């Protein structure tokens, strides 16, 4: 099982348990930006994230992937 943490540009944070995470690099020439899709356990619905900082952790809490989509969040 995986955990996904999403920090939105407004500073809001979402933490969800997930079973799959996909990164889609988009099609720059066609105006489609990078995005991350994830699927929650016991669900077939995909949630798409198009902006923010995204961290994916394994069952031990170790970050195994991170993505920065859209504009960077000011520190």
DSSP result, the chain: -EEEEEE-TTS-EEEEEESEEEEE--BGGGTBPPEEEEE-TT---EEEE-SEEEEEE-TTS-EEEEEEESSPPP-
Q: Within a domain: residue 72?
A: no
41 found inside a domain: yes
Q: What is the pLDDT of residue 72?
A: 59
What pTM was estimated for this model as a whole? 0.82
Residue at 73 is within a domain? no
pLDDT tens digits, the chain, 75 residues: what are they? 899 999 999 999 999 999 999 998 876 655 557 899 999 888 888 999 999 999 999 999 999 999 999 865 555
Domain count, the chain: 1
């Amino acid at each position: 099982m995986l955990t996904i943490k999403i920090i939105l540009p407004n500073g809001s944070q979402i933490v969800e348990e997930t079973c799959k995470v996909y990164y889609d690099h988009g099609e720059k020439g066609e105006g489609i930006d990078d995005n991350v899709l994830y699927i929650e356990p016991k669900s077939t619905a995909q949630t798409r994230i198009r902006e923010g900082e995204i961290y994916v952790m394994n069952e031990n809490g170790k970050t195994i992937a991170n993505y920065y989509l859209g504009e960077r969040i000011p520190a």
